[in-house]
Structure 1
Amino acid sequence: MADARRTTLSPTDQAPAALEADALVVAATKTDGTVALVEGHGLSDEAADHVQQSLAAFGAEGGAEEVTRLTGIDGVSAPLVLVVGLPAKGPATRAEKLRRAAGAAARALAGKDKAVFALGQSSEDEVAAVAEGAALGAYTFSVHHGVGKADSAKAELGEAVVAGLGAEAATAATAVVDAVRYARDLVNTPPNVLYPETFADSVVERAGDAVQVEVWDPARLEQEGCGGILGVGQGSARGPRMVIMSYAPEGADKHLALVGKGITFDSGGLCIKPGASMVTMKMDMGGAASVAAATLAIAELGLPVKVTAYLCMAENMTGDLAQRPGDVVTMRGGRTVEIINTDAEGRLVMADGLALASEQSPDAIVDVATLTGACIIALGDRTVGVMGNDDELRDTITRLANEVGDTAWALPMPEEIRPTLDTPVADLKHTGERSAGAMVAATFLQEFVGKAGEGEDADQIPWTHLDIAGPAFNEKTPWGYQPKGASGQPVRTLVALARSMAG
C-alpha cells in the first residue's frame, strides 16, 4: 500500500526565514512589467535582493502555477526557497489567488516533510486561504496503488507551517480541509469498493457522537414510499440506500436541510451510456459526498445551526429488473412520474430526498448533484450552476461560493419550462425539451419542494439547487489546489452557508 501520509497544518508567529524546515515558500508577482517578491515574505533585505536577482536571471513571470526553486539563500534556515507566482490580474479574489498559489507550491513539494508558507497573507481570510490551499493542494489518493506503483508514489508534504496562523484558526481550517478531503476520497474510490451499502457504512463510521445517522435499506425505502430511489436502484444487485444525518446543537434557531445525489456508478441504465462516458461515473455520487462531508465539518466546528442531510444512494445498472422508459413510479409524497430516459436518474433519487427534507419544514433546503451535462456545456468544467425558487438564498449561496473559491454562477428557471414536463399518463414526466437541460432538471426538482406554510397560497420552502456536474471531478491537469480527480466541491460553500445562517 502506498504512503497514506496526510498534510497537517501548523500555526506559527515566528519569523518564517528562521524556522527549520525543508523549504520556505514565498510569492512573487508582476507589477508594471517587473517581477517582485510580495511583501510579507519575512526575508532580510540581503536575502530578498538575492531572490530578486535570481528570479530575474531565471526569467520568472510571476504567473499562476509558476514555481521557481532557489537554494543557498543566506539568512534562510531552510535549504530550499520556493517562489510561487501570484497573478496581479484576474477575476479571482486575492484570498483565492493565495489559496491557488499555496496549492501549486504544495504540489511541487511532494515528498518533503515540512514547509513554511509566507506568501504575504495579512488578513485572517488570507491566512486561512493559504492554509486551505496548502493542505488541499498537497492531496493525493494512493489507497489503491499496488506493488508496482507504491514504491515510486510521492508522499504528500508532511507539514505546512503557515505564517500568521493561530492555533484556533488552524483547528478550524483543519476541520474544513479534512471534510473536503473526505469528500474527495469518497468520489475517488472505485465503484467496486464504494457502492450504496459501503458508502452508508463509511458515513456511519465517520459520524461520531455529534451527528446521528439513520440508514434506510430497500425494505425501508419501500415502506417509506421512496419510489424514485427504488426505481433507479432496482437494476443493480447492490440495493439502494437513503442515509439521513442529523446534527441538532442546543440553541440552534435555524434549520438547514441538505440533499445530495449519491449515484455510486451510472451506466445510464437501459438507455446505456457510451463506454467512454462511463469511465468517470464513479463520481456521480459527488453531491452526496459533499453533503455528508459538510455536515460532519459543521458539527466538528460546533456551528449553532441545525442540519439534516439526506444522501440519496443508488447504483444505476442494466440488470433483469432495470427500470424502463415508459415506466411510471410513485415518489415520496404520492406524485407519479413517467420515466423517459433512464440516464436522467439523478433527479429521481433527488426528488425523494427533497420531499423528505420538506416534511421537516426547514428554513432552507439546498441540494447538490452532478446532475446534467447541459450545465457543463453552459458553464464549463469549473463553475457550479445555481438555481432556485428564492432569489435571496440563491444569490447568497452564489456569493459565498465565489468567496470561498467554489466558482459559481446563478441561472434562471424560466416559466415556459414547466409545461414541457407534462404527460397524459402521470402527474409529470422527468425530462422535458432538450434545450436548457440544466434548468429543465432544476424545474423538475422544484416540483418536490414542499410549502413553508398551510394553504394553496403558501410559498415554497426556500430552496437552491447546485449542479456540480463540471467542477466535481477534474479530468485534466492539476491546477491551483485542485488535483486530478475529485475536487470536494462544494463542501466549503455549504460550511460557509451554515456559518451565515448561524449568524
Structure 2
Amino acid sequence: MTELSLSPKDPARSHADALVLATTSDDGAARLLADHLPRAVVDRLTALLPALGVKGTADEVLRIPAGDGLAADVVVLTGLGPVAAGRPGAEALRRAAGAAVRSLAGTADAVLALPATTAEEVGAVAEGALLGAYRFDRYRRTDPAPVTRVELATPLARDKAAKAAVERARVLADAVAGVRDLVNASPRDLFPQSFADEAKAAAKGTKVKVSVLDERELAAGGYGGIVGVGQGSLRPPRLVKVTYAPARAKAHYALVGKGITFDSGGLSIKPAKGMETMKMDMAGAATVLHVVLAAAALDLPVRVTGWLALAENMPSGSAQRPSDVVTMRGGKTVEVLNTDAEGRLVMADALVAACEESPDVVADIATLTGAQMVALGNQVGAVMGSEDVRGAVVAAADRTGEQFWPMPLPTELRDSLRSPVADLANMGDRFGGMLVAGLFLQEFVGETPWAHLDIAGPAYNEGSPRGYTPKGGTGMGVRTLLGLLEGAAQR
C-alpha cells in the first residue's frame, strides 16, 4: 500500500529517492514546468532536454541524475502532452502522475512536484499517483512492490479543499483497486458464491448492507434469466443486493452490474482465444459494488442500491440451449437464440428487481457486447438510455476523466428482437449489435429514467500499461458512476 501525503516543503530540498517533475510538448518542443525550483536548477535541466530526446508527450517518463541543487537522488521527468492556456488539465495531471509512480516500483519514496495550484489539480495528481501505484500480486511475488511513500509538494498542503480532494482521491483509488483486484482474480477463485462472500467482507464495518439470493430463492422469485444462464455450471448463480441508505437522502439511485464470473459462451461456445480474458466479464458487478462502498465512505447524501447479477456461463448437460424460452422476473418471456448473449439475460432480471423499488434513476454497467469494441475501441465506453440520464453520465465522465460516448437506441432496430414463440428474443440484428443489446435492456426498465453503460473494451487492458492504467483490469466506470452520484448529491 502506497502512503500519500501533502507537503509544503521546498521540493529542491526534499531528501527522497526520486523527485518527479513535469514536461510539456508545447509548440513542438519539450518544456520543463518547474517554476517552483531554483532558476539555476531549471536552466540546467532545461538545457539537457534536447540532448536527452525529451518530447514532453503523454506517458513519456525518463530518469536522470538529480545533480547539483537538488537533494533527491534522481529526477523523473513525466510528460503532460500539450498544455492549453498555460495550465494542464486534470486528466493530463492524473496520467502524468500515474505514469511516473508506476515507473517507480521498487522505490522507497518520491516527491511529486507537478504544476498543481488548485485543489482540483492537487486531487487529480493524488488520484493519478494512487491509481498508478496499483499492483496485483495475488499469484506472483516477483514484481517489485509499488513505491512506498509519495509526497505531493504543493503550497496548498494546509488548504482544507486540497486536503478534502486528497481524501476523495484515496477513496476513489481504493474503489478502483477493489474492482481491479476482482477482475484480475482467477475464475477458479472468483465465482458467484465467492463473489458474494467478497461483497460481504468488503462491506463489513461500513454503512453498507449486503443481502444475497441463492439459486433456490432466485428460482422461487422468477429470476429466469439469471437461473438459466447459471444452470450449466456446478457453481450456481447469485443475486447480491448492496444497499447504502443515509438519512435524508436527496435521491435514490439504483446501479446494476453484470457479473458473469467466467463466460465460455455456454453451448454457443466461444473459440478458445475468445475465452482467454473472459474472467473479466464480471467487471460491471465489481464496479457497482465498489461505487456503493465509495459513496458510503464519502457520506454522500444519496441512497444507492447496487444489484450484482452473478452467474458462470458454462456448457454442460444441464446448460440452457439455443431455442429455450425463459420467463424473466416480471413475467416477460425470452427465446434464447444464442447462449453467448447471456449478459443481457442476467441484467434484465436485475433491472426489473431494481425498478420494483421505484428509484429516481437506474444505471447499469456491463461488459456487454463485442460490438462496443468494434464501434468505439478499447478506451471509450458507450452510454445509451434516457436522454437526461445519458447526458448526466457523459457530463460525469467528462468531469472525472473517463471517456463515455452517447449512443442512440434506434426504434427501427427493435423489430429484430421479435420472436415467433416468446415476447422477445435475446438476439437481433448483427449490425448495430451494441444498440440492439441496449434496446433489449430497455424492455425491462419501464418508465424509470435509465442509462446503460457498455464497457466491454475499456474494462480490461490487454495491451501495455499506460498512464495510471495497468495491464489487466482497469476499473473503468468507477469514476463516472461516483461522479454521477456526486452530481446528484449537489442538487
Does TM, scored on the shorter chain, surpass 0.5? yes
Superposition pairs of residues 181-260 of structure 1, within 5 angstroms? 181-208=177-204, 209-260=206-257
- 1:468 aligns to what? 455
Q: Matched residues in 1 for 2:288 and 2:480: separation?
A: 10
Do 1:383 and 1:407's aligned partners in 2 also have CA atoms closer than 8 Å? yes
* Amino acid in structure 2 at the alignment position of 1:139: Y
* Amino acid in structure 2 at the alignment position of 1:11: L
Do 2:34 and 2:42's aligned partners in 1 also have CA atoms closer than 8 Å? no
Do 2:25 and 2:83's aligned partners in 1 also have CA atoms closer than 8 Å? no
* Amino acid in structure 2 at the alignment position of 1:254: A
- From 345, 348, 352, the equivalent of 1:348 is 345
- From 287, 290, 298, the equivalent of 1:301 is 298
- 1:23 aligns to what? 18
Q: Matched residues in 2 for 1:72 and 1:341: separation?
A: 60
- 1:49 aligns to what? 43
Do 1:43 and 1:75's aligned partners in 2 also have CA atoms closer than 8 Å? no
Deviations 1:357-401 (A, max 9, x none): 10011110000000000010000010000100x212101211211
- 1:328 aligns to what? 325
Deviations 1:153-176 (A, max 9, x none): 111111221233543332221011
SS at match of 1:221: helix
Q: Matched residues in 2 for 1:499 and 1:72: separation?
A: 41
Kindly indicate whether residue 141 of structure 2 is the aligned counterpart of residue 156 of structure 1. no
SS at match of 1:239: coil
Aligned-CA RMSD value: 1.4
- From 173, 176, 181, the equivalent of 1:180 is 176
Do 2:26 and 2:83's aligned partners in 1 also have CA atoms closer than 8 Å? no
Mean CA deviation greater in 180-189 or 63-72: 63-72
Mean CA deviation greater in 268-277 or 49-58: 49-58
Q: Matched residues in 1 for 2:214 and 2:88: separation?
A: 45
SS at match of 1:32: helix
- 1:13 aligns to what? 8
- 1:416 aligns to what? 412
5+ residue gaps in structure 2? none
- 1:453 aligns to what? none
Deviation at 1:298, TM superposition (A): 0.6
Q: Matched residues in 1 for 2:153 and 2:3: separation?
A: 14
* Amino acid in structure 2 at the alignment position of 1:461: T
- 1:454 aligns to what? none
- From 394, 400, 403, the equivalent of 2:396 is 400
Q: TM-score, normalised by structure 2?
A: 0.96
Counterparts in 2 of 1:461 and 1:245: CA distance versus 1, 3 Å: same
Deviations 1:164-212 (A, max 9, x none): 3543332221011000000000000000000001011001001033001
Q: TM-score, normalised by structure 1?
A: 0.93
Superposition pairs of residues 52-201 of structure 1, within 5 angstroms? 52-88=46-82, 94-145=89-140, 150=141, 152-164=142-154, 166-201=162-197
Deviation at 1:11, TM superposition (A): 1.7
Deviation at 1:89, TM superposition (A): 6.0
Q: Matched residues in 2 for 1:338 and 1:34: separation?
A: 60
Q: Matched residues in 2 for 1:105 and 1:358: separation?
A: 44
Do 1:127 and 1:163's aligned partners in 2 also have CA atoms closer than 8 Å? no
* Amino acid in structure 2 at the alignment position of 1:56: P
Q: Matched residues in 2 for 1:402 and 1:287: separation?
A: 20
Do 1:51 and 1:70's aligned partners in 2 also have CA atoms closer than 8 Å? no
SS at match of 1:299: helix
* Amino acid in structure 2 at the alignment position of 1:383: V
Do 1:135 and 1:160's aligned partners in 2 also have CA atoms closer than 8 Å? no
Deviation at 1:93, TM superposition (A): 7.3
- From 462, 478, 484, the equivalent of 1:491 is 478
Q: Matched residues in 2 for 1:186 and 1:355: separation?
A: 25
Q: Matched residues in 2 for 1:112 and 1:181: separation?
A: 20
Counterparts in 2 of 1:309 and 1:280: CA distance versus 1, 3 Å: same
- 1:366 aligns to what? 363
Runs (4+) of structure 1 moved beyond 4 Å? Answer: none
* Amino acid in structure 2 at the alignment position of 1:399: A
Do 2:254 and 2:306's aligned partners in 1 also have CA atoms closer than 8 Å? yes
Do 2:399 and 2:483's aligned partners in 1 also have CA atoms closer than 8 Å? no
- From 427, 435, 440, the equivalent of 1:439 is 435
Kindly indicate whether residue 445 of structure 2 is the aligned counterpart of residue 449 of structure 1. yes
* Amino acid in structure 1 at the alignment position of 2:91: E
* Amino acid in structure 1 at the alignment position of 2:428: G
Deviation at 1:416, TM superposition (A): 0.4
* Amino acid in structure 2 at the alignment position of 1:216: L
Q: Matched residues in 2 for 1:422 and 1:77: separation?
A: 70
Deviation at 1:249, TM superposition (A): 0.5
Deviations 1:55-112 (A, max 9, x none): 222121111221121213323221111111111169x971111111111101110101
Do 2:80 and 2:88's aligned partners in 1 also have CA atoms closer than 8 Å? no
Percent identity for Structure 1 against Structure 2: 51
- From 264, 271, 274, the equivalent of 1:277 is 274
Deviations 1:195-253 (A, max 9, x none): 00101100100103300100111011112111100000000000000000010011112
Deviations 1:306-361 (A, max 9, x none): 00000000000012210000001011111111100000000000000100010011
